[in-house]
Amino acid sequence: MNKDMAEQSNLELKNKPQVIANNKISISVIVALLTVYIIWGSTYLAIKIAIVDMPPFFMAGSRNIISGLIMYSVSSFFTKKKISLKQWINASMVGIGLLLIGNGCVAWAETRMPSGIAALFIATEPIWILIISFLTKKDNNITKIDIISIMLGFVGVIILVSQNFIGNHTPINLSGVFAVLLASFSWAIGSIIMQRRFISDNSFQATSMVMLTGGLFLMIASFFTEKFSYSDILLISHSSLIAYVYLITLGSLVGFSAYTWLLGNASMTLASTYAFVNPVVAVMLGFFLAKEPMNLQIILASGVIILSVVLIVMKDKINLKIFKRS
């Protein structure tokens, strides 16, 4: 028994994804970042459209189960290793953090608040990641660049969406605020767990396992909290259906896969920069595709956010430490 446990531990240490620590960023990481930036930047609007005719938990759960089944079937052709119970437990822990609480709360919050406001609060995720990593002694150093870049990004997002509730005096639903802040915190924890726990040596299989377990938990939540029958599916509008398919194919299959791949091949802070860039992408897509307004406030916010991302990418070359745990 002890020998089996030792062999399993050695296997996990051998196969567990490691974060790249060098100063160079590979082309693969850049492509994955751009994928997450662009696709996830458009999902806020897609979620808003999809939940017009579908309950949020049902929409999020069924979307991830369908995506998970597709990815698991494909990845099984390349990975023949038997998946242990511990691996499924690890996937379930990540699924609860990223999907049940993370995606579920965002979808639920968007029934009560504008998608741009939701994006603002999601931008707190990198702050949670730094705090959790420092408190758990997994990251002993907090640099000046960490603090400056995250604060710049947060300020930039505030500038970007402030017109939604300052100029137009749009009320902010407090329950929605709590839900989306909980989603941001939970996503940070789920991301950290996925980096530290072994799920599969195939990143696509690991992603599919997280989707399947998280999607299952979301469907359970939907069963107990939402009223939605199979006959209601026939009443879904074309716009909601198109948004739903978009979320399955690009939002889950492509975007989520790129993000989980980043967690094993880039720094946690770099991977989480999507939270700053996504609102910018959402505004730009709205301007060019939906004729939404563009003003000096939006341009200023975009510049601040892009600067924060550049600082995070270049921080290893500056590397000024503020706090160091002994």
Residue that wins the pLDDT comparison between 232 and 222:
222
Lowest average pLDDT, out of 221-230, 239-248, 284-293, goes to 284-293
Instruction: Say if CB 275 and CB 90 are below 8 A apart.
Output: no
CA terminus-to-terminus distance, the chain: 37
Residue that wins the pLDDT comparison between 159 and 222:
222
| Confidence (pLDDT) at 89 | 96
Crossing angle of helices 238-246 and 27-50, in 10° steps, is 160
* DSSP class of 248: I
Residue that wins the pLDDT comparison between 260 and 213:
213
Give the C-alpha separation, 205 to 213, whole Å.
Answer: 12
Q: For the whole model, what pTM was predicted?
A: 0.77
| Confidence (pLDDT) at 104 | 96
Task: Compute the Cα dihedral for 220, 226, 232, 238 and give only its sign.
Answer: negative
Give the C-alpha separation, 304 to 25, whole Å.
Answer: 22
Please write the tens of the pLDDT for every residue from 121-142: 787 777 787 778 777 766 666 7
| Confidence (pLDDT) at 16 | 41
In the predicted structure, residue 1 carries a pLDDT above the cut 80: no
| Confidence (pLDDT) at 53 | 92
Please write the tens of the pLDDT for every residue from 261-311: 887 888 777 887 787 788 888 777 767 765 656 777 777 877 888 787 777
Lowest average pLDDT, out of 89-98, 101-110, 115-124, goes to 115-124
| Confidence (pLDDT) at 6 | 37
Please write the tens of the pLDDT for every residue from 41-96: 898 889 988 998 999 999 999 999 999 999 999 888 887 788 999 999 999 999 99
Closest CA to 36 of 216, 257, 290: 257
Give the C-alpha separation, 43 to 239, whole Å.
Answer: 14
* DSSP class of 99: I
Residue that wins the pLDDT comparison between 68 and 7:
68
Please write the tens of the pLDDT for every residue from 164-199: 555 554 556 778 888 988 998 999 899 889 888 889
Q: Which of 55-69, 103-117, 197-211, 254-268 has the highest mean pLDDT?
A: 55-69
Task: Compute the Cα dihedral for 210, 216, 220, 222 and give only its sign.
Answer: positive
